[in-house]
């Protein structure tokens, strides 16, 4: 997912993050049925983290990317102006 989030367009990435997290959550729920309480707690934590991924993907604002070198150049020019 990390490589894909860098390589694919932002709108496709957002949709992919939501869909994959939701499908993965369903597999966790299915695998947790009939398991010990330790696995149920771990599955609950994992589901909470996946819900966080989905929430961030849904609320993510489209902002232009700014390269680190551009930020450094802006700071340098601001400092030069005094």
Count how many residues are written for the chain.
Answer: 82
In order along its 82 residues, the chain shows pLDDT tens digits of 678 777 888 888 889 989 999 999 999 988 888 888 888 899 999 999 999 999 988 888 766 665 666 666 667 766 666 5
Q: d(Cα 43, Cα 67) in Å, to the nearest integer?
A: 37
CA-wise closest residue to 2 among 15, 17, 12: 17
pLDDT at 7: 84
* Residue 80 token pair: 């030069």
Every domain of the chain and the residues it spans = 2-81
């Amino acid at each position: 997912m990390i490589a894909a989030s860098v390589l694919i367009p932002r709108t496709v990435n957002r949709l992919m993050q939501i869909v994959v997290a939701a499908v993965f959550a369903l597999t966790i729920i299915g695998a947790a049925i009939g398991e010990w309480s330790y696995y149920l707690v771990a599955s609950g934590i994992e589901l909470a983290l996946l819900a966080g991924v989905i929430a961030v993907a849904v609320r993510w604002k489209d902002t232009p990317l700014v390269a680190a070198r551009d930020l450094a150049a802006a700071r340098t020019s601001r400092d030069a102006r005094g």
